[in-house]
Amino acid sequence: MIRQILLSLPTHPDRPPAKCLEGAAFLAQALDASLTAHIPQLSGDPQTWPPIIGTFPLDFPQMMNEAVVQSETNAAALADEITATCAQWRVPLDMRRSFSTLLASADPLVDLSRLHDLTILPVPETDSFGRSYLEEAIFGTGRPSLLLPSGKGKRPLQSLRRIVIAWDYSREAARAMADALPLLTLAERVHVLSVFGEKGLSTTCVAGDLEKYLTAHKVKYSIDQVTLKEGGVGDCVLSHAKEIGADLLVMGAYGHSRLREFILGGATKAILADTPLPVLLSH
């Protein structure tokens, strides 16, 4: 069941576009869920700014003041837009505005995510200041995360007609399938995709066990099997999703963290590097 959805709305260096807010409201309405909007903005207190080490090529205080003003503007605009969007879609909204620092950890987002069924993470169009908070949320919450892409040519979340789920009988894939069941049951067709070639798909299940599971949950599915020809599994999965016009990709997130440094699996790394469509990740 997905009853409470957390939407992360960063305000610096860029803000998520309107299509991400609309996608979140669409999904909440489809699931009859409520939405919590988490909007952190940069603190204007100079004591919270990072120390300057060495020679800085710019006027750092001026740069920080400009960033604070832009973050405050973005926060106010996002608060107004998500309020109007949720009212339009008739989705219950809980607003959480707070102050943060330039290099703040993702702990507030992670902690709040643990008390929600799903976390929606808009993927920034640029890699400014890194995307480490995405990895911390994906691997640290124990909850599924939904990545919504930004930028021109990226597919917004507007429909759940066709869903692709990457399946290799692993623990991560099984977790992703279970977490996504409320969405899979809404789809007109779920394509269960297995990629052969890079590694064997090891299982002691007998033929028909996967189909029996999906049928029991009233999922309308097809089994897609493709052979890896070139590139990695992540690229192959994305290519197949694009080919069938998928609205959503579901897959397990492979990786682990050591002292907050994340070691990502190849497919997960490919998805985070280029997210062309909405992707639900579970770890």
Model pLDDT for residues 245-267, shown as the tens digit of each residue: 999 999 988 765 554 444 555 66
Comparing C-alpha atoms, which of 142, 121, 160 is closest to residue 27? 160
Q: What is the average per-residue pLDDT within 266-270?
A: 67
Top-confidence residue, 15 or 48: 15
Pairing of strands 279-282, 145-148: antiparallel
Top-confidence residue, 274 or 70: 70
Residue 11 has pLDDT above 60, yes or no: yes
Per-residue confidence band for 7, with pLDDT thresholds at 50, 70 and 90? very high
The CA distance from 131 to 172, in Å, is 22
% of the chain beyond a pLDDT of 90 = 54
Task: Specify the 3-state DSSP secondary structure of 109.
Answer: helix
Cβ neighbours of residue 73 under 8 Å, at least 6 residues apart? Answer: none
Comparing C-alpha atoms, which of 123, 98, 104 is closest to residue 14? 123
Determine contact, residues 116/143, Cβ cutoff 8 Å. Answer: yes
Give the CA radius of gyration of the chain.
20
pTM (2 d.p.): 0.89
Tens digit of each residue's pLDDT (9 = 90 or more) over 50-79: 766 555 556 777 888 888 899 999 999 999
Q: Distances from the Cα of 226 to the Cαs of 117, 239, 271, in angstroms? A: 32, 11, 18
The CA distance from 213 to 198, in Å, is 26
Q: What is the average per-residue pLDDT within 26-40?
A: 97
| pLDDT for the residue numbered 60 | 73
Look over the chain and give the mean of its residue pLDDT values, rounded to a whole number. 86
Top-confidence residue, 123 or 36: 36
Residue 130 has pLDDT above 70, yes or no: no
Which segment of 99-108, 111-120, 254-263 scores lowest on mean pLDDT? 254-263
Structural domains of the chain, ranges and CATH numbers in brackets: 4-148 (3.40.50.620), 162-282 (3.40.50.620)
Which segment of 19-28, 238-247, 263-272 scores lowest on mean pLDDT? 263-272
Burial of 268 (0-12, 13-18, 19+ CB in 10 A): buried
Residue 31 has pLDDT above 80, yes or no: yes
The CA distance from 151 to 104, in Å, is 25
Tens digit of each residue's pLDDT (9 = 90 or more) over 159-200: 999 999 999 888 889 999 999 999 999 999 999 998 887 665
Tens digit of each residue's pLDDT (9 = 90 or more) over 206-227: 778 999 999 999 999 999 988 8
Top-confidence residue, 104 or 95: 95
| pLDDT for the residue numbered 222 | 95
Residue 131 has pLDDT above 50, yes or no: yes
Quickly tell me which residue has 């204007």 as its tokens.
44
